[in-house]
């Protein structure tokens, strides 16, 4: 039986190497049971390092890089990582997802269904994105880059208030007149300059637009949602964790395979073997024309 082929993906931003070349073309392999189980156990919101490990397991190729590991996927922008997660989710469950939101209007609190097509959130960009964005400030020429998985991992480990953690992130993203900024230096910039940098990043970002708006069906108030692709995928896999355990049990019982061997199979292979097993137990032909 043929393996499920990888799906080609074109990253919105891409990974720039030391020579300034951008690597955007990649191939996504289907999740195996091992990755399904790990993501299902990763909690409500998988951490940045768990996401990097997952992408390293699923990203079979990235441009000219011969090997994709967690260190490499950590260097991908947050937007590229979300783009890959949307592709993984669409491959496993389909392009359409229905989100449920509660109306925030006082006295309403009605539940609303919000239908989303994942492909519409992150369409492929034909044009290359710049490695950094430039902003003219009174303090000089500033360069700002998009946050990466490595930035998110550092932020997840950082202590301090929300403002201090935000300053730490911006100090990693922004360079003014070729000089890196310390968190205190970022905070010492005038509010107008900091706003200009944030606006340039928001307008020039190649990341998927994950902010959603919908109307409450009862009072017509606006509902605002923010989609987290990895949290969505983890939640759906967590809901199917019991089924995965059952699949492992049935295949191990009948074929005497080890748990590790079964979890190394992608879902399509596991389900095909289960289909063959069911046909055999019910006396159906395994293949057309065979008995």
> For residue range 28-42, what is the model confidence (pLDDT) as tens digits?
999 999 999 998 888
Please report which confidence band the pLDDT of residue 3 belongs to, taking 50, 70 and 90 as the band edges: low
Q: Choose among 28, 21, 93: nearest CA to 267.
A: 93
pLDDT in tens, 54-85: 999 999 899 999 889 999 999 999 999 999 99
Q: What is the pLDDT of residue 285?
A: 66
- Do 269 and 1 form a contact (C-beta atoms < 8 A)? yes
* pTM, full prediction: 0.90
Q: Give percent of the chain with pLDDT exceeding 90.
A: 75
Of 241, 232, 265, 238, the closest CA to residue 85 belongs to 232
Letter string b/e over residues 157-184, b meaning 16 or more CB atoms within 10 A of that residue's CB: eeeeeeeeeebbbbbbbbbbeeeebebe
Report whether 280 contacts 286 (CB < 8 A). Answer: yes
Q: How confident is the model at residue 290 (pLDDT cuts 50, 70, 90)?
A: very low
- pLDDT value at residue 124: 80
Instruction: Looking at mean pLDDT, say which of 87-91, 122-126, 146-150 comes out highest.
Output: 146-150
Q: In this predicted model, what pLDDT tens digit does every residue of 244-268 receive, in sequence order?
A: 999 999 999 999 999 999 999 999 9
């Amino acid at each position: 039986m043929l393996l499920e082929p990888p799906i080609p993906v074109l990253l919105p931003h891409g990974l720039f190497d030391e020579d300034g070349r951008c690597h955007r073309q990649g191939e996504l392999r289907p999740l195996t049971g091992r990755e399904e189980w790990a993501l299902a156990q990763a909690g409500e919101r998988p951490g940045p390092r768990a996401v990097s490990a997952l992408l390293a397991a699923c990203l079979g190729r990235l441009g000219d890089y011969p090997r994709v590991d967690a260190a490499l996927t950590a260097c991908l922008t947050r937007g590229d990582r979300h783009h890959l997660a949307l592709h993984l989710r669409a491959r496993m469950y389909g392009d359409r997802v229905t989100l449920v939101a509660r109306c925030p209007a006082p006295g309403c609190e009605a539940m609303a269904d919000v239908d989303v097509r994942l492909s519409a959130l992150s369409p492929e960009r034909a044009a290359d994105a710049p490695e950094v964005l430039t902003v003219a400030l009174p303090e000089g020429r500033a360069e700002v880059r998009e946050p990466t998985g490595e930035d998110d991992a550092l932020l997840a480990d950082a202590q301090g208030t929300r403002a201090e953690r935000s300053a730490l992130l911006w100090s990693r993203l922004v360079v003014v007149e070729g000089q890196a900024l310390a968190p205190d230096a970022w905070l010492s910039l005038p509010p107008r300059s900091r706003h200009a940098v944030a606006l340039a990043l928001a307008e020039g970002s190649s990341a998927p637009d994950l902010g959603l708006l919908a109307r409450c069906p009862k009072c017509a108030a606006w509902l605002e949602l923010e989609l987290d692709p990895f949290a969505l995928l983890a939640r759906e896999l967590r809901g199917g964790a019991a089924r995965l355990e059952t699949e492992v049990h049935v295949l191990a019982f009948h074929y005497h395979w080890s748990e590790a061997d079964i979890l190394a199979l992608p879902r399509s292979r596991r389900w095909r073997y289960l289909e063959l097993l069911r046909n055999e137990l019910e006396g159906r032909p395994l293949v057309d024309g065979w008995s």
